[in-house]
């Protein structure tokens, strides 16, 4: 397969950066912004807090990125850092107002958010919402990553897939089973 | 690696649909990557930050309008740039409140540095159109000054 995964592209950009081409960090930002956004938001970060957590992770990378010797590790390193930073900010979130707290999307029963979904997406969303919350968070994040990074990301989010068993893990298996039992899916 | 360690087509389809779902329910805010890039630039350069204080016919990146004249102001300098597009490139004429300062024009895959004359004027030809930011060095402060990214 010659198609580059997101992990490949991220590793390549980060290697270029470590080799001294500072502009490659911009490519890394472009490649990983959706993944990091959904990482922070999967932990219920309000928008400003999510942005702050992601920014802190990037600044940590600028300070100490040369300590990451395996370029492939940069993806899970950033996911872990964003998640930890989100939790740290949430713990001291006294400085966030109620209106910030209201901004936690996706609001599960927000009719406006659902109105823009296709029928198929609405069906999928119903099955995802029926999963344990940690599964919802994990699936949301790995959907924006690539396969070689799933195990590291699952561990980072506190849902280790384990050394035994298929890579897809428990959460994806549950979702597949639910979809397989839904006659309206795949039609 | 065993075959059952790999995701199959169904897994890939379900995950792609999941990404589509969350991308729709909770899209990445406009300009988020640019804001992260800006924070990184400032940190890497240990720079002073200039803000956009005046703009005419200007779109900060994400809007569709092209920059025409824009003024950036930091605690130590002001920088005014005017742009005249020619096809895929643009000519940038500028003025900085510090004669002899160096102005680096930074695009995605291209950058160049010019020195302002004694009265602070400078111009750069053939700047690729698209996102651009400026870094000013040699001004009155010790630190470089970095501007937000705008669209040429």
Which tens digit of pLDDT belongs to each residue from B105-128?
998 778 899 999 999 999 999 999
**For range A8-12, the mean pLDDT:** 94
Q: How many angstroms separate the Cα of B14 from the Cα of each of A139, A142, A143, B17, B69?
A: 10, 11, 9, 5, 48
With tokens 């000054």, the residue in question is: B145
pLDDT at A1 over 60: no
- pLDDT tens, position by position, B23-34: 999 999 988 998
Contact flag A37-B28 (C-beta cutoff 8 Å): yes
Number of residue pairs across A and B with CB atoms under 8 Å?
98
Cα(B93)–Cα(B44) distance, integer angstroms: 26
- pLDDT tens, position by position, B89-101: 999 999 999 999 9
Contact flag B25-A51 (C-beta cutoff 8 Å): no
pLDDT at B68 over 90: no
Cα(B30)–Cα(B73) distance, integer angstroms: 24
Q: Name the residue of chain A whose CA is nearest to B19's CA.
A: A143
Contact flag A124-B37 (C-beta cutoff 8 Å): no
Is-cis flag, bond preceding B23, omega within 30? no
CATH number at residue B67: 2.60.40.10
- Whether chain B has a CB inside 8 Å of the CB on A125: the answer is yes
Q: Name the residue of chain A whose CA is nearest to B110's CA.
A: A23
Whether the Cβ atoms of residue A10 and residue A73 lie closer than 8 Å to each other: no
Of A63, A143, A167, the CB nearest to B18: A143
Residue B52 in domain:
yes
- Whether chain A has a CB inside 8 Å of the CB on B22: the answer is yes
Contact flag A25-B40 (C-beta cutoff 8 Å): yes
Q: Name the residue of chain A whose CA is nearest to B6's CA.
A: A167
For position B28, what pLDDT does the model report? Answer: 93
- How confident is residue B65, by pLDDT bands cut at 50, 70 and 90? very low
> Nearest to residue A157, comparing CAs of A83, A51, A58?
A83
Q: How many angstroms separate the Cα of B129 from the Cα of each of A60, B49, B87, B132, B138?
A: 31, 23, 8, 8, 26
pTM as predicted: 0.77
Contact flag A117-B25 (C-beta cutoff 8 Å): yes
pLDDT at B61 over 70: no
Cα(A138)–Cα(A129) distance, integer angstroms: 12
Q: Could you tell me what percent of chain A has a pLDDT over 90?
A: 45
Instruction: Find which of B8, B16, B21 to mutate to test the A interface (most A CBs within 10 Å of its CB).
Output: B21
- Whether chain A has a CB inside 8 Å of the CB on B30: the answer is no
pLDDT at A179 over 90: yes
Contact flag B11-A176 (C-beta cutoff 8 Å): yes
**For range B57-79, the mean pLDDT:** 71
Which are the contacts of A109, defined by CB distance < 8 A and separation ≥ 6?
none
Output the CA angle A152-B12-A86, nearest 5 degrees. 40
Q: Could you tell me what percent of chain B has a pLDDT over 70?
A: 88
> Nearest to residue A126, comparing CAs of A75, A179, A56, A48?
A179
Of A30, A166, A172, the CB nearest to B33: A30
| Joined tokens for residue A185 | 């899916």
For position B101, what pLDDT does the model report? Answer: 95
Cα(A46)–Cα(A107) distance, integer angstroms: 11
Domain count, chain B: 1
Four-CA torsion B9, B11, B15, B16, nearest 10 degrees? 10
Of A106, A116, A176, the CB nearest to B10: A176
pLDDT at B87 over 90: no
Residue B23 in domain:
no
- How confident is residue A11, by pLDDT bands cut at 50, 70 and 90? very high
pLDDT at A24 over 80: yes
Contact flag B21-A121 (C-beta cutoff 8 Å): yes
- pLDDT tens, position by position, B135-146: 999 988 788 999
Cβ contacts of B15 on chain A, cutoff 8 Å: 139, 142-143, 172
- Bigger pLDDT: B2 vs B13: B13
Distance from chain centroid for Cα A45: 12
User: How distant is the Cα of A181 from the closest Cα of chain B, in angstroms?
Assistant: 14
Contact flag B26-A34 (C-beta cutoff 8 Å): no
Cα(A37)–Cα(A54) distance, integer angstroms: 7
Mean of per-residue pLDDT scores for chain A? 83
Mean of per-residue pLDDT scores for chain B? 86
- Bigger pLDDT: B62 vs A132: A132
- pLDDT tens, position by position, A57-107: 999 999 887 788 888 889 999 999 999 999 899 887 764 444 444 444 443
Lowest mean pLDDT among A31-35, B9-13, B66-70, B124-128: B66-70
Domain boundaries, chain A: 6-180
Residue B81 in domain:
yes
DSSP, collapsed to helix, strand or coil, labels residue A19 as coil
Domain, as residue range, for B92:
32-151
> Nearest to residue A112, comparing CAs of B26, B12, B83?
B26
């Amino acid at each position: 397969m010659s198609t580059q995964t997101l992990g490949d592209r991220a590793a390549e950009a980060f290697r270029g950066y470590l080799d001294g081409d500072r502009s490659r960090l911009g490519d890394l930002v472009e490649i990983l912004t959706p993944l990091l956004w959904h990482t922070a938001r999967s932990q219920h970060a309000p928008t400003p807090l999510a942005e702050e957590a992601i920014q802190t992770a990037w600044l940590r990378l600028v300070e100490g990125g040369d300590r990451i010797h395996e370029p492939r590790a940069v993806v899970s390193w950033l996911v872990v850092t964003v998640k930890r930073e989100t939790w740290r900010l949430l713990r001291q979130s006294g400085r966030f107002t109620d209106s910030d707290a209201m901004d936690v999307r996706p609001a599960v029963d927000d009719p406006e958010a659902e109105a823009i979904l296709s029928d198929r997406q609405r069906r999928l969303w119903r099955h995802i919402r029926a999963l344990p919350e940690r599964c919802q968070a994990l699936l949301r994040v790995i959907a924006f990553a690539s396969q070689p990074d799933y195990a590291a990301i699952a561990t980072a989010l506190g849902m280790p897939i384990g050394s035994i068993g298929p890579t897809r893990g428990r959460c994806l298996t549950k979702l597949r089973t639910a979809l397989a039992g839904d006659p309206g899916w795949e039609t | 690696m065993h075959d059952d360690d790999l995701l199959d087509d169904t897994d890939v389809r379900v995950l792609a649909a999941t990404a589509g779902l969350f991308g729709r329910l909770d899209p990445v805010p406009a300009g988020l990557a640019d804001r992260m890039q800006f924070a990184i630039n400032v940190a890497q350069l240990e720079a002073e930050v200039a803000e956009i204080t005046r703009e005419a016919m200007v779109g900060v990146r994400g809007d569709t309008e092209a920059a025409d004249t824009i003024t950036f102001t930091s605690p130590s300098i002001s920088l005014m740039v005017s742009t005249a597009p020619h096809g895929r490139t643009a000519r940038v004429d500028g003025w900085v409140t510090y004669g002899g300062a160096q102005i680096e024009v930074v695009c995605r895959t291209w950058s160049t540095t010019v020195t302002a004359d004694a009265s602070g004027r400078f111009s750069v030809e053939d700047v690729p159109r698209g996102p651009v930011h400026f870094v000013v060095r040699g001004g009155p402060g010790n630190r470089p000054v970095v501007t937000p990214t705008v669209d040429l």
